[in-house]
């Protein structure tokens, strides 16, 4: 018995020693990896840039920087990623390109600026279009195209999504009308604020109420062509205008931030927000869903904008620039959502259920056109919706 105990003791001591050695090895490995990473970062930052990328959204900084660093490790080509002011961004690219004065080889824009970039001669064709068509959302390909060809490399998107308080609603309401009915039947408890909110001062959030009425196309002159289902349009506007009897939203003071603050504080039970803002809502009481219908016969359909990388047609390093653009938007996308908090257009890298809901909302949305005159259409729509909200006849 004593010998057996001694054997057990010896085995135990051996296991403890091995565990300790393993712990030391892991710790040493972590210590070794830190200097290696610092060395790689220093090498990248000291390298002479061969390419320059301009962008305007700071939430992309970490991802783009890491892509540039990893790309340098793999290819030996250093890319300088530069955050710029969004005001006059495309014009600045055009001017520096014309002056041959420090222009970017690649730049990041929203798709509603692609038409302008294309007409300015700033967009080189995406020669890997078939690869993107095979794995990216259909709307991403649409948003990247002018005249039937892809001129960009789609990355991520904005689209309206519906958020609701899970401590009030057991499941996602099927329609706005259902939310009102539940309130009238005292199914939602004591209500201190609005049943639903959105930024009524911005056409991006108003558009879902009329989004099913429109279909967009581009004519031979590159101008926007809009087809409207007039009967449906009238019904949608009637419903939209009628909401003012129940919901108190001020077109003069409402902001994107106010909607988020109201939702987080409980001042509204549900909201329509930008998919990019999901990181700013309280995850403990928030559930995400596709946009609800308006009622049993009228559905909602949001619009969407897509964030794109574009290779500057003025660059003398077009092949290298295109390779990096493909790397950022295809090969490196597995880390995109974790680093930025945004959902990629590359469907194959999405594994989370909530992310898939948002991705599907994007796929089902209306891609806001790339044409230069789309701003005129959106301005007209905003003016009409604001007027109807404030009491003008439908």
Instruction: Provide DSSP, 336-382.
Output: HHHHHS--BSBGGG---HHHHHHHHHHHTSEEPP-STTHHHHHHHHH
Q: Note the pLDDT of residue 20.
A: 52
Indicate the DSSP class of residue 35.
Answer: H
CA distances from 132 to 127, 270, 329 (A): 10, 35, 9
Q: Does residue 145 share a domain with residue 115?
A: yes
Domain-located, residue 287: yes
Range of the domain at 218: 160-301+372-389
CA–CA gap between residue 29 and residue 241 (Å, rounded): 64
Distances (CA, A) of 186 to 169, 191, 247: 12, 9, 17
Q: How many domains does the chain have?
A: 2
pLDDT score at 39: 67
CATH code assigned at 125: 3.40.190.10
Alpha carbons 57 and 61: distance in angstroms, whole number: 7
Q: Is residue 25 part of a domain?
A: no
Task: Say yes or no: 167 and 229 in one domain.
Answer: yes
Question: Are residues 184 and 154 located together in one domain of the fold?
Answer: no
- Residue 230 resides in a domain: yes
Q: Does residue 13 fall inside a structural domain?
A: no
- Domain check: are 50 and 194 in the same one? no
Considering the domain architecture, whether residues 335 and 263 belong to the same structural domain is answered as: no
Residue 20 lies inside a defined structural domain of this protein: no
Q: How far is CA 153 from CA 55, 255, 279, in A?
A: 14, 31, 25
The radius of gyration of the chain from alpha carbons, rounded to an integer in Å, stands at 26
Q: How many CB atoms lie within 10 A of CB 309?
A: 25
Whether 99 and 179 map to the same domain: the answer is no
- Whether 38 is in a domain gets the answer no
Claim to verify: residue 107 and residue 215 sit in the same structural domain: no
pLDDT at 33: 61
The answer on 213 and 322 residing in a single domain is no
User: 3-state class of 220 per DSSP?
Assistant: coil
**Burial of residue 285, with CB atoms counted within 10 A of its CB: 0-12 exposed, 13-18 middle, 19 or more buried:** middle
Give phi and psi for 315, each to the nearest 5.
Answer: -65, 145
- Is residue 153 located within the same domain as residue 166? no
What's the confidence (pLDDT) of residue 57? 96
In a domain, 341, yes or no: yes
The bridge status of strand 270-274 relative to strand 160-165 is antiparallel
Sign of CA dihedral 132, 137, 142, 144: negative
- Do 169 and 295 lie in one domain? The reply is yes
Mean pLDDT by 10 residues, the chain (394 residues): 43 44 50 65 87 98 97 97 97 97 97 95 95 88 93 98 94 96 86 89 97 88 88 96 92 96 94 96 89 98 98 98 98 94 94 94 95 92 95 85
- 217, 371 contact by CB (below 8 A): no
How far is the C-alpha of 345 from the C-alpha of 349, rounded, in Å? 9
Question: Cβ neighbours of residue 365 under 8 Å, at least 6 residues apart?
Answer: 139, 159, 160, 211, 301, 302, 303, 304
Residue 7 lies inside a defined structural domain of this protein:
no
**Does residue 286 share a domain with residue 183?**
yes
**3-state secondary structure at position 226:** strand
Lookup result for tokens 């007209």: 380
Same domain for 62 and 146?
Answer: yes
């Amino acid at each position: 018995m004593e010998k057996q105990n001694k054997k057990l003791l010896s085995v135990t001591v051996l296991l403890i020693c091995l565990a300790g050695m393993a712990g030391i090895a892991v710790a040493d490995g972590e210590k070794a990896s830190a200097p290696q990473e610092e060395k790689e970062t220093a090498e990248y930052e000291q390298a002479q840039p061969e390419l320059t990328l301009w962008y305007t959204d700071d939430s992309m900084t970490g991802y783009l920087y890491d892509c540039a660093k990893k790309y340098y490790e793999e290819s030996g080509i250093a890319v300088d990623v530069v955050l710029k002011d969004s005001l006059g961004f495309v014009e600045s690219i055009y001017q520096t390109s014309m002056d041959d004065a420090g222009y970017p080889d690649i730049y990041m824009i929203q798709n509603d600026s692609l038409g302008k970039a294309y007409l300015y001669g700033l967009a080189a064709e995406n020669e890997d279009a078939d690869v993107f068509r095979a794995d990216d959302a259909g709307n991403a390909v649409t948003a990247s195209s002018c005249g039937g060809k892809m001129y960009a490399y789609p990355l991520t998107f904005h689209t309206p999504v519906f958020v609701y308080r899970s401590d009030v609603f057991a499941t996602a309401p099927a329609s706005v009308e259902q939310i009102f009915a539940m309130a009238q039947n005292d199914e939602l408890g004591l209500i201190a604020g609005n049943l639903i909110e959105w930024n009524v001062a911005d056409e991006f959030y108003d558009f879902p109420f009329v989004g099913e009425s429109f279909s967009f196309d581009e004519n031979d002159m590159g101008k926007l062509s809009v087809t409207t289902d007039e009967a449906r349009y009238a019904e949608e506007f009637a419903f939209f205008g009628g909401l003012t009897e129940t919901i108190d939203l001020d077109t003069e003071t409402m902001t994107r931030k106010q909607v988020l603050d109201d939702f987080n504080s409980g001042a509204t039970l549900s909201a329509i927000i930008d998919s990019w803002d999901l990181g700013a809502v309280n995850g403990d009481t928030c559930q995400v869903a596709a946009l609800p219908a308006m009622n049993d016969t009228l559905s909602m359909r949001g619009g969407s904008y897509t964030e794109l990388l574009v290779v500057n047609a003025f660059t003398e390093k077009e092949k290298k620039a295109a390779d990096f653009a493909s790397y950022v938007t295809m090969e490196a996308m597995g880390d995109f959502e974790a680093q930025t908090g945004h959902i990629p257009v590359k469907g194959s890298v999405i594994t989370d259920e909530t992310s898939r809901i948002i991705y599907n909302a994007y796929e089902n949305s209306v891609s806001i056109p790339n044409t230069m005159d789309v701003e005129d259409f959106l301005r007209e729509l905003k003016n009409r919706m604001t007027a109807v909200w404030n009491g003008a006849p439908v």
